[in-house]
Amino acid sequence: MRPLVTLIVAVLMSFSAHGSVNDGIAAYNAGNYAVALKEFSASAAAGDPAGEHLLASLYYQGHGVERNLTKAVALFREAAAANYAPSLANLAVMYAAGDGVPKDIKMAFDYNRKAAELGDLQSQFNVAQSYRKGSGVTQDYSKAAYWYRKAAEAGSSHAQNEYGLLFAQGQGVPLDYVQAFAWMDLSANAGDSEARENRAQLVTMLSAAQREQASKLAAEYAVRYSRKQ
């Protein structure tokens, strides 16, 4: 699970918006937090979930304003009530860590699930992890496989490795070393060190025919599921 600040900065660096939010992001990226605060505040006052989220981010980080987690949480909740996925994802991280709110794994799962259903990639991975480990929810390998697959097909290298592991262990999916290799290979080639180790171990378990089949499938998956930068 990524730290909350990482989630916040990712949104600030990549968000596409108009008006005061867009001006605020430009100011934030230039290090002009006072202007960012002004623009995000105006957007939040107009009821824009993106403005509420970004203003919450400033309060969380203490950029341009005194750090205030209570205010940050309140603003994240306002945006989350409008089904704004980044705020749902941030609240999930905060509840999982007890950061500004009481630690509540079930609440963290619920927020992650909502964000995952809205297409948030990290949240999809987190939901899969929760189902695999039984964290905040009843353990269910089939549901874990469903969410790993969603994130894996969208390009999450961590999800690709974990999805491959499910195939290698026959948990929630049929036992299939060829599928396992193809997913792990995709993750390993994206730089995941754990996936490289898993792939190396798996290779020793494949027959020559399976290795050939796995290599072909891995090449196909590389075209279909590699993360677009």
pLDDT (0 to 100) of residue 220: 97
Q: Which of 194, 130, 137 is nearest to 168 (CA)?
A: 194
Region of 83 (left: φ > 0; alpha: ψ -120 to 50; beta: rest) is left
DSSP state of 188: H
Mean pLDDT of the chain: 92
Chain mean position to CA 60 = 19
pLDDT (0 to 100) of residue 4: 52
pLDDT digits (tens, 9 = 90+) for 140-169: 999 999 999 999 999 999 999 999 999 999
User: What H or E segment, with its residue span, contains residue 212?
Assistant: helix 208-225
- How far is residue 173's CA from residue 218's CA, in Å, rounded to a whole number? 18
pLDDT (0 to 100) of residue 158: 96
Residue 229, in any domain of the structure: yes
pLDDT digits (tens, 9 = 90+) for 10-48: 455 444 455 689 999 999 999 999 999 999 999 999 999
Ranking 16-25, 86-95, 124-133 by mean pLDDT, the lowest is: 16-25
Statement: residue 7 has pLDDT above 70: no
Q: Which of 71, 76, 101, 106 is nearest to 90 (CA)?
A: 76
Residue 175, in any domain of the structure: yes
Chain mean position to CA 93 = 10
Residue 63, in any domain of the structure: no
Counting Cα atoms < 13 Å in the Cβ hemisphere of 98 gives: 3
Statement: residue 1 has pLDDT above 60: no
Give residue for tokens 């867009």: 22
Chain mean position to CA 113 = 11
- How far is residue 226's CA from residue 30's CA, in Å, rounded to a whole number? 32
Domain housing 159: 146-229
Residue 219, in any domain of the structure: yes
- Sign of torsion over alpha carbons 15, 147, 138, 162: negative
Residue 64, in any domain of the structure: no
Residue 76: pLDDT band (50, 70, 90) is: very high
Residue 152, in any domain of the structure: yes
pLDDT digits (tens, 9 = 90+) for 99-113: 999 999 999 999 999
Cβ atoms of 99 and 4 within 8 Å: the answer is: yes
Statement: residue 60 has pLDDT above 70: yes
pLDDT digits (tens, 9 = 90+) for 191-200: 999 999 999 9
Residue 98, in any domain of the structure: no
Ranking 9-18, 49-58, 138-147, 180-189 by mean pLDDT, the lowest is: 9-18
Cβ atoms of 65 and 37 within 8 Å: the answer is: yes
Residue 67, in any domain of the structure: no
pLDDT (0 to 100) of residue 227: 76
Structural domains counted in the chain: 1
